[in-house]
Amino acid sequence: MTDTHTHIYMPDVFPDYGVEAAGRAIEAGVTRMVFPCVNENSLPAMRKLHEAFPRNTRLALGLHPTDLEGDWRAQLDRMEQMLPGDFAAIGEVGIDLYHDASQRAEQREAFARQLRWAVKHSLPVIIHCREGLDDTLEVLQELKNECELPQLIFHSFTGGPEEVRRIREVCDPLFGINGVVTFKNAPAVREALPVIGLDRMLLETDAPWLSPAPLRGRTNESARIPLIRDCIAATLGVSPEEVESRTDSAAYNLFFK
Ligand SMILES: [Zn+2]
Q: How far is the CA of 35 from the centre of ligand 1 (A)?
A: 8
| pLDDT score of 186 | 87
Q: How far is the CA of 193 from the centre of ligand 1 (A)?
A: 21
Averaged over 87-99, what is the pLDDT?
Answer: 97
| pLDDT score of 188 | 96
For the domain spanning 62-256, the CATH number is 3.20.20.140
Answer whether 2's CB lies under 8 Å from 203's CB.
yes
Q: How far is the CA of 156 from the centre of ligand 1 (A)?
A: 8
Q: How far is the CA of 6 from the centre of ligand 1 (A)?
A: 7
Q: Is-above-0.95 flag for pTM? A: yes
Averaged over 19-46, what is the pLDDT?
Answer: 98
- Helix (H), strand (E) at residue 23: helix 19-27
**pLDDT at residue 78 tops 90:** yes
Q: How far is the CA of 36 from the centre of ligand 1 (A)?
A: 6
Instruction: Please enumerate, as own/partner, the contacts of 19-25 that have beta carbons within 8 Å and a separation of 24 or more.
Output: 19/49, 19/52, 21/207, 21/221, 21/222, 21/223, 22/49, 22/52, 22/53, 22/56, 22/57, 22/222, 24/221, 24/222, 24/223, 25/221, 25/222, 25/223, 25/225
Percentage of the chain beyond pLDDT 70 is 100
pLDDT tens-digit profile of 164-194?
999 999 999 999 999 999 999 989 999 999 9
